[in-house]
Structure 1
Amino acid sequence: MHGVFYRSATPDEPPLVEVGARIEAGQKICIIEAMKTFIDIAAEAPGVVLAILAENGDEIAAGQALFRIGPAGSS
């Protein structure tokens, strides 16, 4: 979806995930603001965050990769 990428729920809170974090399927990993609506984005599968491909506040396009996530044994 097209919108604005946010790494945390509010500007005062830490990012939801960092590079190197182990995540679970269904875990909230970022928020997208689209048409004044904030949408929680959850991980589809468990793994390790290898890279975050967008900066906080970036405008993103539909289909754009936001994270690189590897299997739980990755680093």
Structure 2
Amino acid sequence: MSRSSGPKRPSAGNHVLSTTIIVPGIADLRPLRQSKNLTLAVAAPHLGVRPATISALERGIRRDDALTHAYRNWLQAA
């Protein structure tokens, strides 16, 4: 019979994340792209990715902070 001792506590071999990570927002990406009448097929080659990758990024299915920053910068300059 196995006994549960409750939640595991950090020990010398375990590390707890204590640094806050700022995640870039994505809510502005699709509206910004659409306001400039740009399609996914137009945006994707400028970033070296497939249109599906941009779509997943815009919908929050994929997280890629570097791509998000590059995409936002490209959209703002477009």
TM-score range, shorter chain: under 0.3
Q: TM-score, normalised by structure 2?
A: 0.25
Whose radius of gyration is greater, 1 or 2? Answer: 2
Higher helix share: 2
Higher strand share: 1
Q: Structure with the greater relative contact order (CA < 8 A, sep ≥ 6): 1 or 2?
A: 1
Q: TM-score, normalised by structure 1?
A: 0.26
